[in-house]
Amino acid sequence: MTETRPDLSYLGIAFTRLGLEAAAAVIAERPAEAPFAYVVTPNAQHVVRINQGDPSFVPAYRDAWLRLCDSRVLILLTRVLGGPTLPLAAGSDLTARLFQTVIRPDDSLVVIGGDPEMVEHLRRIYGLRRLVSHFPPMGLLHDPQAMDACVDFVVVHPSRFVFFAVGAPQSEVLARRVLLHGGATGVGLCIGASLRFLTGQSRRAPLWIRRLALEWLYRLLSNPRSHFRRVFVESLPLVWLVIVDRIKTVCAR
C-alpha cells in the first residue's frame, strides 16, 4: 500500500499531501468495486472561491476523498514566502498518468460531459472497450433534472473510474451528489479539460512553460477574451490570500 500523510490544512482546504506519482498509485490501488469516492484538484481559482465561501465549492471539497494541489503558482508563492510545502499533482497530469499507466482496455469507465468526438478519440487511442458516456445540457448547475440524470447514469453504470468533464463547479457538485446518493462505485475525477488535452482537441502549454508556473499566461495569450476575467478577477486574489495567511502565521508565533 502507498503510504499517505495527514492532510495539510491551508487556505481553507485540507490538501492531501501526495504528489503526482503517489496520487496515481493510491488511486490505482483502490478496488474497482469499492463505494464511490471522488478526487478534486484545486487550482488558484478554486482556492479563491473557497475562501469567499462559495456554496458550491465548500461542501464539495469538504467531502472529497483526495484534494490534490493543481496550482504551481500557489506552490511557488508559498515557497517564496516561507509557507507550507505543497506537492504538485495537476489534474491534467494525473488524468494522463492514469490513462497511460493504470487504465486497461477492459476497465469500465464513465465520462460525463465532453462530446462524442472526444469519447471516440479516447476509445481509439487507448483501445477502451467498456467506456460509456453521457452528455448533459448546458446550464447543468441550475438544472436539477439534468443533474439527477447524470447521477442516475453513474449509478446504473458501475465503473472503475468516472471522469467528470463538465467544468467547475459543476463537476465537483455533481461528484458530491453521486457520493450522497449512494450506490455508485469507483473513483470520480473532476478533470476539467484534461480529456481534451489527451485527445488533442485542445493544446496544453509546453512543459517548460508549465514548469515556470506560467501556464496561466499561456492560456491568457492564447485566448485573452476567455481567460482575462479568470486570471485577473477570479485567480489574482490568491496572492493576497497567501500573503495574509503568512502574516497571520508569523504574528501568531
pLDDT tens by residue, 135-144: 999 999 999 9
Task: Tell me the percentage of the chain whose pLDDT exceeds 70.
Answer: 98
pLDDT band at 210 (very low <50, low <70, confident <90, very high): confident
- Supply the DSSP symbol for 12: T
Rounded to whole angstroms, the Cα distance separating 216 from 76 reads 14
Whole-structure pTM value: 0.93
Query: How confident is residue 219, by pLDDT bands cut at 50, 70 and 90?
Result: confident
Could you tell me which residue, 228 or 92, shows the higher pLDDT? 92
Q: In the sheet where 37-40 sits, what is the strand order?
A: 66-67, 37-40, 187-190, 161-165, 109-113, 131-134
Average model confidence (pLDDT) across the chain: 91
Categorise residue 186: left if φ over 0, alpha if ψ from -120 to 50, beta otherwise.
left
Q: What pLDDT score does 6 carry?
A: 80
Please say if the pLDDT value at position 228 is more than 90.
no
Residue 231 has pLDDT above 80, yes or no: no
**Tens of pLDDT, residues 165-189:** 999 899 999 999 999 999 999 999 9
SS3 78: helix
pLDDT of residue 110: 97
Report the alpha-carbon distance of residue 15 to residue 197 in Å, rounded: 25
The burial class, CB within 10 Å (0-12 / 13-18 / 19+), for 116 is exposed
Cα dist from 80 to 14, 28, 89, 246, whole Å: 21, 33, 19, 11
User: Which residues, 6 or more positions from 71, have their beta carbon under 8 angstroms from its beta carbon?
Assistant: 42, 43, 44, 47, 238
Note whether 8 and 84 are within 8 A (CB).
yes
